[in-house]
Amino acid sequence: MSTLSLHNISFTYLAARQPALRDISLAIGQGQICGVVGTIGAGKSTLAALCAGFMPQFFQGRISGSALLDGRDLLASSVAELVRHVALVRPDPYSQISGARFSVAEEVAFGLENLGVPAPEIYQRVEQALDAMELCHLRDRSPYALSGGQQQRLVIAAALALRPAVLVLDEPTAQIDPLGQHRLADLLRALARSGTAILVAEHRLEWLAELADHVLALDEGQPIAYGPPAEVLASPLLVERGIGWPRPTALVAHMRAQGALPAHTPLPITEQGAIEALHGLALPPRLPAPPPAPAAPIVALDMVRYRYPTGVEALRGVSLRIAPGERMALLGPNGAGKSTLVRHLNGIIHPSAGQVQIGGQEARRRSVAQLARTVGVVFQDTRNQLFAHTVRDEVAFGPKNLRHSPARVAQLVDAALDALGLRAVAAEHPYDLPPAMRRLVAIASVLAMEPPLLVLDEPTAGLDGPSTQRIRALCEQRMRAGQSTLVVSHDLDFSYEALDRVILLDQGQIVFDLRWEAFDEQHIRTLRTIAGLPLALRLDQPTAHREAGA
């Protein structure tokens, strides 16, 4: 018997012109994991919310079809009735923190308290959930003093503590570091073995390929494929519809197209499958961009230290130079200090010790508005960066404040919209768009100001293949124009493929700062231990050292 089953479900949001979901049928039994894939706006988040009981009670609209969850009519039950049976984790952890509790442990306990679980059992469940998500050392810290990745682990821990029959995860890896993604996959497998039914909407196809029992592919709200991962994720249909393939699949397909492999070579979906298919073959070489010409730095940090009012020392002696025309990756585990470092680059915070210079001037002597002309920052959480009524107005706000002429504003806005693929939604309200597309709007709004340094914090989180390629093209275009881009990311494959310089941060300190082509075996071992390796470097490593996601 299925723990969660949908039959011919269709849903249209109130006042929407087109259905968000059309004729969706699926069944997830006890101990099964179902993956959901699709492009931005395909309906993944809508399906996740529906499976958690939010339609039509919370998100109103027209719905048809039937759905059962743990023996209950999903469409006729209230959220309050379903909360003991299903838990939803959304990709924006900040919005799921209650605000009613002052510590991580109390936040995990909050839902259990509302369900009237006895205190001794609450304590036991909280401890188990904190341990599962590796948050025990942060149990007394405020949820709002955590990094984005730590907050995501917190909301997952809170869901685990409820012990639902059905766990629904919407982009659970979006802000979690690669080693944490590997541990999360192990945890979900253990939950499935214990009988939990799990639905995962996820853009990291190679991560899902190692995890799911079956996969549903959506396109414009409609199912286009449903079945075992090996059939769905290697289907040419996914490429045709812009979803793309897992990286191992794409790599083997490339080698096959180049004649390095026989045309009949099966396309694997996992890393191990790629290792077997590519045995004895040299991988395509990485083509680095030339180093930037010597020039005065856009940004210079000298022995920067920063301690939060809580006493947490987030940066410990960071020195850094960023020249014009660079493409850089700032890598490191959750809580390494990456976002804290970024906040120094546009004057939101100033160092407790050391000096930050922007454009040759000390940052603390200039306002945030003045610094924004030199350094444009797009943060992980874009909600506080979007406030206009249309996408076009949002993107135009910055250039207008720089006092450009109306013609120049229009030119900059159109160029930014085109670069991010947003021309078709220019008249839409930003908050009527899917969360991942809002991220693109935020990037476009800063891009239109033409800052010499553009800082993107987790820009590829939740993005589909075509959108990720736009970010890659944007980085290259800016490099050729002599402008620099710093990408804070847990997407190691994107960092390897699209960026040149690697700054590895751990525990508030720079471990190394060099270009990919300068890596030796020691650097590879260090990166593997602290942050994980991109697929290309993992495939180059001896078998004994390979570890999925690491």
Burial level of 180, CB count in 10 A (0-12/13-18/19+)? buried
Please determine, for residue 280, whether its predicted confidence score (pLDDT) is greater than 90: no
Q: What residue type is 423 in one-letter code?
A: R
Please determine, for residue 546, whether its predicted confidence score (pLDDT) is greater than 60: no
CB neighbour list of residue 308: distance below 8 Å, 6 or more residues apart: 145, 314
Residue 68: closest CA among 89, 53, 87: 53
Alpha helices, DSSP H, located in 310-375: 338-344, 368-371
pLDDT tens digits for range 172-182: 998 888 988 99
Q: What is the DSSP letter of 175?
A: T
Residue 347: closest CA among 370, 365, 360, 363: 363
Dig out the tokens for 52 from the structure: 């958690």
Residue with tokens 């900059």: 412
Please determine, for residue 547, whether its predicted confidence score (pLDDT) is greater than 80: no
Please determine, for residue 354, whether its predicted confidence score (pLDDT) is greater than 80: yes
Task: Please give the average per-residue pLDDT across 273-292, as a whole number.
Answer: 86
The rounded radius of gyration (Å) of the Cα atoms in the chain is: 23
> What is the C-alpha to C-alpha distance for residues 504 and 332, in angstroms, rounded to an integer?
6
Grade residue 544 by pLDDT with cuts at 50, 70 and 90.
Answer: very low
Q: Look at residue 1 in the predicted model and tell me its pLDDT.
A: 59
> What is the C-alpha to C-alpha distance for residues 523 and 541, in angstroms, rounded to an integer?
13
- Domains (range + CATH), the chain: 2-243 (3.40.50.300), 248-277 (no CATH)
Please determine, for residue 541, whether its predicted confidence score (pLDDT) is greater than 80: no
> What is the C-alpha to C-alpha distance for residues 270 and 264, in angstroms, rounded to an integer?
18
Torsion of CA 229, 173, 155, 55, to 10 degrees: -50
Grade residue 531 by pLDDT with cuts at 50, 70 and 90.
Answer: very high
> Model pTM?
0.89
Grade residue 543 by pLDDT with cuts at 50, 70 and 90.
Answer: very low
> What is the C-alpha to C-alpha distance for residues 510 and 315, in angstroms, rounded to an integer?
9
Q: Look at residue 425 in the predicted model and tell me its pLDDT.
A: 96
Question: CA torsion sign, 134 to 136 to 142 to 143?
Answer: positive
Q: Look at residue 262 in the predicted model and tell me its pLDDT.
A: 93
Residue with tokens 């085109």: 418
CB neighbour list of residue 212: distance below 8 Å, 6 or more residues apart: 33, 34, 35, 200, 229
- Residues 484 and 297: beta-carbon distance below 8 Å: no
Share of the chain above pLDDT 70, in %: 98
- Residues 28 and 17: beta-carbon distance below 8 Å: no
pLDDT tens digits for range 410-464: 999 999 999 999 999 999 999 988 888 999 999 999 999 999 999 999 999 889 8
Task: Please give the average per-residue pLDDT across 284-309, as a whole number.
Answer: 90
Q: Look at residue 548 in the predicted model and tell me its pLDDT.
A: 39
Residue 222: closest CA among 383, 408, 378, 22: 22
What's the mean pLDDT when you consider all of the chain? 93
Q: Where on the phi/psi map is residue 258: left (φ > 0), alpha (ψ -120 to 50), or beta?
A: alpha
Q: What is the DSSP letter of 334?
A: T
pLDDT tens digits for range 184-222: 999 999 999 999 999 999 999 999 999 999 999 999 999
Distances (CA, A) of 449 to 340, 361, 486: 23, 20, 16
The order of strands in the sheet holding 509-515 is 375-378, 453-457, 484-488, 327-331, 501-506, 509-515
> What is the C-alpha to C-alpha distance for residues 389 and 379, in angstroms, rounded to an integer?
20
> What is the C-alpha to C-alpha distance for residues 439 and 491, in angstroms, rounded to an integer?
16
> What is the C-alpha to C-alpha distance for residues 107 and 114, in angstroms, rounded to an integer?
12
Q: Look at residue 324 in the predicted model and tell me its pLDDT.
A: 97
Dig out the tokens for 163 from the structure: 């012990």
pLDDT tens digits for range 22-81: 999 999 999 999 999 999 999 999 999 999 999 988 888 999 999 999 889 999 998 888
Mutual orientation of helices 119-132 and 148-161 as an angle, nearest 10°? 140
Number of CB atoms found within 10 A of residue 470's CB:
19
More confident residue, 547 or 349: 349
Q: Look at residue 148 in the predicted model and tell me its pLDDT.
A: 85
Q: What residue type is 242 in one-letter code?
A: G
Dig out the tokens for 371 from the structure: 């610094």
Share of the chain above pLDDT 90, in %: 83
Residue environment code for 2-23, b if the CB has 16+ CB neighbours within 10 A, otherwise e = bbbbbeebbbbbeeeeebbbbe
Can you name the residues that pair with 304 across neighbouring β-strands?
318
Dig out the tokens for 527 from the structure: 């990166």
| Pairing status of strand 2-13 against strand 21-29 | antiparallel
Please determine, for residue 473, whether its predicted confidence score (pLDDT) is greater than 80: yes
Q: Look at residue 267 in the predicted model and tell me its pLDDT.
A: 95
> What is the C-alpha to C-alpha distance for residues 154 and 160, in angstroms, rounded to an integer?
10
